[in-house]
Amino acid sequence: MRWVLAVTLSAVAFVVCWACLQFGVHADAPVALGWAILPFSVVMALSGVWADSLRRNADKSRVHPDASTTRTVQNQKAGDKAQQFQIGRDLRINEKDE
């Protein structure tokens, strides 16, 4: 919903700026369109940060504080290969094939 509002506000800023330049100042159409992209970009950038802040805050609240600090790391050497096991996943580090 926030992104719909952000895009709508940006489009409204574009149309209002374009209409003022086209009909109020009587600027050429390409010039009016070129200048109208400026407020569109500014409003889109600012409202995009606002719209994405909800997702970023939700991602931070989902992360358990213990999950980042509690890690089980075991190094195991099998032949010439060193393997690291971390949180149930096998990650190969410094793998040597001879």
Domain ranges of the chain: 2-62, 67-98
Taking 50 as the threshold, does the pLDDT of residue 68 lie above it? no
Q: Centre a 10 Å sphere on the Cβ of residue 22 and count the other Cβ atoms it contains.
A: 16
Q: Give the pTM.
A: 0.54
- What is the tens place of the pLDDT at every residue in 70-82? 444 444 445 444 4
Q: Among 83, 62, 89, 86, which residue's Cα sits nearest to residue 73? A: 86
Query: In this structure, what token pair is assigned to residue 67?
Result: 């999950």
Query: In this structure, what token pair is assigned to residue 95?
Result: 């793998």
Q: How far apart are CA 37 and CA 21, in angstroms?
A: 12
- What is the tens place of the pLDDT at every residue in 4-59? 999 999 999 999 999 999 999 888 888 999 999 999 999 999 999 998 887 777 76
Q: How far apart are CA 68 and CA 86, in angstroms?
A: 12
Chain center to CA of 68? 22
How many angstroms separate the most distant Cα atoms in the chain? Answer: 79
Query: In this structure, what token pair is assigned to residue 92?
Result: 């190969």
